[in-house]
Amino acid sequence: MKKRRIGILSGGGDCAGINSAIKWVVYSALDERRCRESGYQYEVIGIREGWKGLTGSPFDASQSTWPLDMATVRTWDRQGGTLLGTSRTNPYSPKDDQSQTVLANIEKLGLDVIVAIGGDDTQSVSYRLSQEGINVVGIPKTIDADLKGTDYTLGYETALNVIVEDIDKLRTTAGSHRRIFVVETMGRHAGWLALEGGEAAGAYIILIPEYDFSVERVNELILEGKKAGDRYEIVVVAEGAKAQGMTEVTKDERIDSFGHKTLGGIGAYLAAEIQQGTGLEARSQVLSYLQRGGAPSAYDRRMGRYFGIAAMDLIMRRRFGRMVSFTNCRFVSVPLKDVFGQLKLVDVASRYDTEKYNGRHRVIT
């Protein structure tokens, strides 16, 4: 039986569900029945720290890789984050192009295929490597849920649960002190986390990057709620949301290897504007990395399982240069070239109330 070696890595931000996907790639690859059917015997090597793990020169496989078997990954699906580690390394960065080193190290490891778990940035590297002749299969992962080509990305449901749980806790202090709480979620370009997290938590106002908001209108809505007898209000705002006439609020001037600014601070800005404009006490809370943390929800454990199995389906059929996808309630695959560079954004016309700054109030049209 011919032998094949699979490398697997996770890139970009950590989140729940990654370890489940890794486990089920390993379990599927080492399943004796599936191996007999495919005619190949597989070995799985974990690559540490995402694409960074393949950039070492000289390359030390003992430090950058982790042989994976069923015993090693047996309990991984219960754990959040990524046990392989991750990074935001871009081997094709114009400032520090390490693509040739990565290609050389892939050859040194004797990898027949790489399974890359990640979002837009990670899959952009996957595509470029596939153009260089490397066999690559992608698994969608991002809590922002903004990846084209799939209706679901690993980590999203767990992140939503964290947002709801944290807002539920904030309600007790908001009500006790009659405060307005502005909760800042992640979401650089897409407002899915803020929108659906805010809807699930019953937020009064939800602000998303796809629709610039008016501070004056926010204050009007706050005062309307106060006049109606509301003791407090919860405002949810995505980190990439912008007030009309402004750009995104950033923490500092740093830019990562994919060209992204470090966003953060819109919640504090808005809380100050609300307090000044309404005279009501307002506080901000940044959820930040809490959204990435914790054990995966049942849904992310299951989706990690299905995505991992689907990745091996593609590998065993030698269908490379593709990403597994969950679309229209079916597991399929899409070409990597169709995945990156075109983010899946909230359709404001159908999903957002631009007058009330909240989720849709009609679902049957």
Q: What confidence tens digit (pLDDT) does each residue in 107-157 have? A: 999 999 999 999 999 999 999 999 999 999 999 999 999 999 999 999 999
- How far is it, in rounded angstroms, from Cα 102 to Cα 127? 14
The mean per-residue pLDDT over the stretch 8-28 comes to 97
- Rounded-to-5 percentages of helix, strand, coil across the chain: 40, 20, 40
In 3D space, the residue among 137, 166, 139, 164 whose CA is nearest the CA of residue 154 turns out to be: 139
Dihedral angle of Cα 262, 146, 326, 158, to the nearest 10 degrees: 50
Q: Give the CA angle between residues 121, 150, 4 to the nearest 5°.
A: 70
- Residue 309 is encoded by which pair of tokens? 């199995």
Q: What is the mean pLDDT of residues 172-198?
A: 96
Overall average pLDDT of the 324-332 stretch: 97
Average the pLDDT over each of 233-237, 272-276, 288-292 and give the range with the smallest value.
Answer: 288-292
Fold classification of 158-293 (topology level): Rossmann fold (3.40.50)
Tokens of 160: 């939503």
182 three-state secondary structure = strand
Class of domain 2-154+296-338: alpha beta
Q: How far apart are CA 137 and CA 57, in angstroms?
A: 25
Q: What is the mean pLDDT of residues 166-191?
A: 95
Segment 168-189 shows an average pLDDT of: 95
Q: Which residue has the tokens 């960065």?
A: 93
Compute the average pLDDT of residues 70-80. Answer: 98
Paired sense of beta strands 65-68 and 40-47, if any: antiparallel
Residue with tokens 């892939």: 106
Look at residue 259 in the predicted model and tell me its pLDDT. 67
CB atoms within 10 A of CB 169: 11
Name residue, tokens 């089920």: 24
Q: Which two tokens stand for residue 195?
A: 């929108």
Q: Which is catalytic among the residues 120, 144, 146, 300? A: 144
pLDDT of 258: 67
On whether the CB atoms of residues 204 and 191 are closer than 8 A, the answer is no
**Distance in angstroms (rounded) separating the CA atoms of residues 282 and 299:** 35
User: For residue 138, what pLDDT is reported?
Assistant: 98
Which H or E element spans position 3? Answer: strand 2-10
pLDDT mean over 176-188: 95
Q: How confident is the model at residue 12 (pLDDT cuts 50, 70, 90)?
A: very high
Q: Do domains 2-154+296-338 and 158-293 have the same CATH topology?
A: yes
Q: Which of 18-22, 181-185, 254-258 has the lowest mean pLDDT?
A: 254-258
**Measured between alpha carbons, how far is 79 from 338 in angstroms, rounded to an integer?**
31
Q: Is 256 a known active-site residue? A: no
State pLDDT tens for residues 245-283. Answer: 998 888 776 766 566 677 889 999 999 999 999 999 999
Q: What distances in angstroms separate CA 205 from CA 137, 170, 183, 270, 348, one per listed residue?
A: 40, 15, 10, 12, 15
> If you average pLDDT over every residue of the chain, what do you get?
95
Whole-angstrom Cα distance, residue 145 to residue 44? 28
Q: What is the pLDDT of residue 263?
A: 85
Q: How confident is the model at residue 335 (pLDDT cuts 50, 70, 90)?
A: very high
What residues does each domain of the chain span?
2-154+296-338, 158-293
pLDDT at 365: 76
